A and B are shown apart, each in its own frame.
Chain A
Amino acid sequence: MATDTAIRTEEFQVNMGPQHPSTHGVFRMVLTMDGERVVDCEPHIGFLHRSMEKMAENRLYIQFLPMADRIDYLSSMFCAVAHCEAVEQFMEIEVPPRAKYLRTMFMELNRIASHCIFFGVFALDLGAVTPFLYGFRERELTMDLLEMTSGQRITFNYVRFGGVAADLPESFFPAVERFIKVFPGRVTDYERILNENEIFLARTKGIGVVDAARAINYGWSGPNLRSSGVDFDLRQNMPYEAYGELGYEPVVLPNGDCYDRYLARILEMRASHALIKKCMEGLPEGPTQKEKVSKFPKLPAGEVYVRVESPRGDYGLYLVSDGTDKPYRYKLRTPSFNNLSMIREMLRGVYLADIVPIFGSLDVILPDVDR
């Protein structure tokens, strides 16, 4: 078509972020556009690089425990559990069964809180405000439960080496019963708002399709990977804490588009709800903290790699100790970073309006990317 009379368009650049409501924090994309089409996207990260890994190497293990909550603040419990599990593996201690169940239950509650935010924010990015209010309504329910046990709303600081900080208070039991009773109905509300909404379907179905091979090649994990048809969930494949006893069937969806990534999280909320129910039914009696565990442990030299299934995927912690009371190397393998790594390839050739659903459906969180 390269004739003299053909209409020629010029490429131009659009800057998106770091201050943009739908970049979920501070993420910058420099987009090269040809009309409405994205030709190229250059992602810039590091606006929230808080030097977490280096801080961990300069602190005692217990001193970093509250900071671990802040690595990924939507799933604080998971980061803290990974930190404690790593230290426990070095110390070769077994956590009491009640503490294991409590950790599992609070991790699942935290997962629900995180997915509620995803539901709200993803819909808000697409222009629907009501789901945002709905998502936060249920998040407050989970926050109540977490707060009455740990005393904090977002950064719980609840897990300890060899157990958890506190047993459940009396008021927890009626509250969790109410939560278990009302929550499935609320998820049905979510589904009725969005699942068959025509605008929502038009903006998410068949957008940003990623097949299984590409997802694996980029190191995807979590609901993103499972919505591309890969049956891999650490809760099932490499059970930790109480997941082995409880059993878990992962949510796997075939299509790998934005809609499936959204649906995977909605279904995971139901699965987490079932796990919480199981946890409360099978909650063993006994202590919540193993006795005589040093609070200021001096770990033997060696290395350990711990993986937990956070709401965003496979959260890994590679801890190297040189025999002192501080870590020698504290390497984090955060799921958001790997999930985000495909953004350049995913955005090439899509329309400008599809950027927001694609980016939103990945459910990345920037402190998890930048550490």
Chain B
Amino acid sequence: MGVIARLPVYWERLPGGGIITTNLEKVLNWSRASSIWYMIFGLACCAIEMMATGCSRYDFDRYGMMFRATPRQSDLMFISGTITLKMAPRIRRLWEQLAEPRYIIAMGSCAISGGGFYYDAYSVLKGIDKVIPVDVYVPGCPPRPEALMHGCLKLQEKIKRESLTKAFGNFKEDQAPRERLDGRWILVK
């Protein structure tokens, strides 16, 4: 009962079976955290590390993380790479297409703050959190697969802390950062 042992449950042995007593929230959060499906969406260098994390040696699947090709089936989106001003509205639209509860991991320094492109690149968005809310930041240029997995475990912890009485996902639509999305971008320093 290795899996059950990690759940805060009361487990009573009876002849011919057993009864488990727990609360709905814990079970629901536990099952959500154990099957995060992520969207296969790569932007730049970090996407290669994301693919490597999903592949043979590091193997995301053992955390129940499977890749899906469409935002409508995924819970998690990795922002894996540099976001240009041309790409930012598209990412915003992808985020809107993700079904709630949805989670974002900003992977690498470009997605966090613009990274190496912060000072003198004219076409790079300085951090994805100017456009969409971010749950976990994973630093690195690019982050090692171990670092990314650590980020995913942190996300699992976060999901397990969430409450049914509040809405899943930390952000409501109107709380999300909103900049001009009508094609004309004004960057907020």
Determine which of B43, B57, B121, B144 lies in contact with A25 in the assembled complex, contact meaning CB atoms within 8 Å. B43
How many angstroms from the CA of A74 to the CA of B56 in the assembled complex?
Answer: 18
Chain B residues, CB < 8 A from A73: 44-45, 48
**Closest chain B CB from A112 CB (angstroms):** 15
Q: For residue B44, which residues in chain A have a CB less than 8 angstroms away from its CB?
A: 25, 48, 50, 70, 73, 367
Shortest CB distance B132–A (Å): 14
Check A26 against B43 for contact (C-beta < 8 Å): yes
- B35 CB-CB contact with A under 8 Å: no
Chain B: number of interface residues, binned into ranges = 20 to 34
A49 within 8 A of B: yes
A136 to B56, CA, bound (A): 6
Residue contact B121 to A50, C-beta cutoff 8 Å: yes
How many contacting A-B pairs (Cβ < 8 A)? 93
Q: Tell me whether A70 and B144 are in contact in the complex, defined as CB-CB below 8 angstroms, given that A18-B87, A47-B90, A54-B122 are known contacts.
A: no
Which residues does chain B contribute within 8 Å of A47, judged by CB atoms?
84, 86-87, 90
Determine whether A67 belongs to the interface, using a CB cutoff of 8 Å to chain B: yes
Q: Check if A137 is an interface residue, CB within 8 A of chain B.
A: yes
Query: Within B80-134, which residues are at the interface with A (CB < 8 Å)?
Result: 81-82, 84, 86-87, 90, 94, 116-117, 120-124
Task: Tell me the bound Cα distance from A46 to B87 in angstroms.
Answer: 9
The answer to whether B142 and A51 have CB atoms under 8 Å apart is no
> CB within 8 Å of B: which residues of A?
18-19, 21, 25-26, 46-51, 54-55, 58-59, 66-67, 70, 73-74, 117, 120, 132-134, 136-137, 139-140, 143, 153-155, 367
A54 to B120, CA, bound (A): 8
Q: Which residues of B line the A interface, CB within 8 A?
A: 40-45, 47-49, 51-52, 55-57, 69, 71, 81-82, 84, 86-87, 90, 94, 116-117, 120-124, 141-142, 144
Partner of A55, one of B56, B90, B121: B121
B124 touches A58 (CB 8 A): no
Interchain CB contact under 8 A, A137 and B144: no
How far does the Cβ of A328 sit from chain B's closest Cβ, in whole Å?
16
Q: Which has the most chain B C-beta neighbours within 10 Å: A70, A132, A367? A: A70
Q: How far is the CB of B97 from chain A (nearest CB, A)?
A: 9
CB-defined contacts of A137 to chain B, threshold 8 Å:
55-57
Provide the bound-state CA to CA distance between A153 and B43, in Å.
18
Whether B82 lies near A48 (C-beta < 8 A) is yes
Cβ A50 vs Cβ B55 within 8 A: no
Report Cα–Cα, A312/B121, bound state, in Å.
25
Q: How far is the CA of A59 from the CA of B142 in the complex (A)?
A: 22
A70 and B86 form a contact (CB under 8 A)? no
Q: Would you mind naming 9 contact pairs between A and B with Cβ atoms under 8 Å apart? A: A19-B94, A26-B43, A48-B87, A49-B84, A49-B86, A55-B120, A58-B120, A134-B56, A137-B57
**Chain A residues within an 8 Å CB radius of B122:** 51, 54
Assess A140 versus B56: contact at CB under 8 Å? Given A47-B84, A153-B144, A155-B45.
yes
**In the assembly, what is the distance between CA of A58 and CA of B57, in Å?**
40
Residue of B51, B57, B82, B120 touching A59 (CB-CB under 8 A): B120
**Chain B residues closer than 8 Å to A19, beta-carbon distance:** 41, 71, 90, 94
Between B56, B87, B94, the greatest number of chain A beta carbons within 10 A of the residue's beta carbon is seen for: B56
Chain A residues in 8 Å Cβ range of B40:
21
Q: Which residue of B lies closest to A54 (CB)?
A: B122
Taking a contact as CB atoms under 8 Å apart, the answer to whether A50 and B43 are in contact is no
> Are the CB atoms of B52 and A155 closer together than 8 Å?
no
* Alpha-carbon distance A73/B116, docked complex (angstroms): 14
CA distance A58 to B119 in the complex (A): 10
* A25-B42, A26-B87, A367-B44 given; A51·B116 CB < 8 A: no
A52 (CB) vs chain B CBs: closest residue: B121
What is the minimal beta-carbon distance from B98 to any residue of chain A, in angstroms? 11
Which residues of chain A come closer than 8 Å to B84, judged between CB atoms? 46-50
A153: which of B49, B71, B82, B117 is its contact (CB, 8 Å)? B49
Closest B residue by C-beta to A66: B116
In whole angstroms, how far apart are the Cα atoms of A120 and B52 in the complex?
Answer: 11
Whole-angstrom CA separation of A134 from B57 in the bound complex: 10
B52: which A residues are within 8 A, CB to CB? 136, 139-140, 143
- Name the A residues within 8 Å of B71 (CB-CB): 19
CA distance A54 to B116 in the complex (A): 13
Counting chain B CB atoms within 10 Å of each CB, which of A73, A117, A134 scores highest? Answer: A73
List residues of chain A with CB within 8 A of the CB of B121: 50-51, 54-55
- Please tell me which one of the listed residues A67, A70, A140 contacts residue B57 in the complex, with CB atoms under 8 A apart: A140
Of A46, A50, A140, the contact of B117 (CB 8 Å cutoff): A50
Nearest-CB distance from B85 to chain A (Å)?
9
Given contacts A51-B122, A51-B123, A73-B48, contact A67 B55 (CB under 8 A): no
| A345 shortest CB reach to chain B, Å | 25
Given A47-B90, A51-B124; A136-B69 close (CB under 8 Å):
no
A59 to B121, CA, bound (A): 11
Instruction: Let me know if B124 and A154 touch, CB within 8 A.
Output: no
Residues in B whose Cβ lies below 8 Å from that of A55: 117, 120-121
